[in-house]
Amino acid sequence: MAGYTSKLRSEEILELLLNGDVSDLEISEEEDGDFDLAGDAVHQSHVPSPSEQSSSCTDNSDDDESSSQNRRMFWEKCERFEGPQATFSPTEVAEHNEKQIMDYFQLYFDLAFFKDTSELTNMRYLQQTGRSLKLSAKEVQIFIGATILMSCLRYPRVRMYWGKTTRVISITEIMTRDRYFSIRSNLKVTDDNAVTEETRRKDKLWKIRPLLERVKRACLSLPRSPEVAVDEQMIPFTGACAIKQFVRGKPNPEGLKNFVLAAPSGLVLDFEIYQGKGTFPEAIGQQLKQGIGASAVLRLCQSLPEGTHVFFDRYFTSVPLLESLAEKNLPATGTIMKSRIPRAVHLTADKILPN
pLDDT for residue 354: 63
Q: How far apart are CA 254 and CA 257, in angstroms?
A: 9
**Could you report the average pLDDT of every consecutive run of 10 residues in the chain (355 residues)?**
44 56 44 38 43 43 47 55 56 53 87 95 94 94 94 90 91 95 95 92 92 94 94 90 88 92 94 88 58 90 94 91 92 88 67 64
Q: How far apart are CA 231 and CA 268, in angstroms?
A: 11
Chain centroid, CA 194 distance in Å = 31
pLDDT for residue 326: 94
- Going by C-alpha positions, the residue among 228, 288, 285 that lies closest to residue 259 is 228
Alpha-helical runs (H) found in the chain: 10-18, 50-58, 63-69, 101-108, 111-129, 137-153, 169-172, 177-186, 197-202, 209-220, 284-290, 292-300, 319-327
DSSP label of 99: B
The answer to whether the beta carbons of residues 291 and 276 sit under 8 Å apart is: no
Taking CA atoms, 199 is separated from 195, 204, 206, in Å, by 6, 9, 7
Q: How far apart are CA 44 and CA 263, in angstroms?
A: 50
pLDDT for residue 283: 56
The answer to whether the beta carbons of residues 235 and 280 sit under 8 Å apart is: no
Q: How far apart are CA 198 and CA 206, in angstroms?
A: 11
Q: pTM here?
A: 0.67
Map out the domains of the chain with their CATH numbers.
10-75 (no CATH), 82-221 (no CATH), 224-352 (3.30.420)
DSSP label of 96: B
